[in-house]
Amino acid sequence: MEIKAPEAVVELAGLHRRTPLPGRVVLTSFHAEPLERAASLMPGVERGLISHHPGNGLLERALELKATWVCPGLTPGLTPELVARFHHAGLRVDAWPAADAGRLARCVAIGADAVTTDHPVLIDGWLTMN
């Protein structure tokens, strides 16, 4: 679940107190503030840092924020070696965007743990193509 407005975290935390979010939910954002607020208000909910630029900066920042996921853009810099470094640091990787079968295949090949797509109904078909 991507958080785009930091003020939404307080409302979401209130909802979470009444009806806990399912365990598979990961709160993600491009920005530190919503992730920090989520950590203090919903410490048991996983968090992920989104970035257009994979690399050591993303790794370091995610660890500073005590994120459990990194969500790097699927660029040439997102390599199997970098994914292995994220994994070694205890972070899971959600690559994006898996916009077609070829990009999904690349996400799988580099070892991503999850993908983000605008086409969830097509994923099963794409997986059977590979």
Whole-angstrom Cα distance, residue 10 to residue 48?
17
Residues 6+ positions from 89 with CB-CB distance below 8 Å: 59, 63
Return the pLDDT at 56. Answer: 87
Q: Could you report the per-residue pLDDT of 63-91, keeping only the tens digit for each?
A: 999 999 999 999 999 999 999 999 999 99
What integer pLDDT is reported at residue 130 of this predicted model? Answer: 59
Report the pLDDT value the prediction gives residue 121, as an integer from 0 to 100. Answer: 87
Element (H, E) at 16: helix 8-18
- As a CATH number, domain 8-129 is 3.20.20.190
The residue extents of the domains of the chain are 8-129
Interval 3-42: pLDDT, tens: 999 999 999 999 999 999 988 899 999 999 999 999 999 9
Place of tokens 């916009």: 99
Q: Where are the beta strands (DSSP E) in the chain?
A: 26-29, 46-51, 69-72, 92-95, 114-115
pLDDT grade, residue 102 (50/70/90)? very high
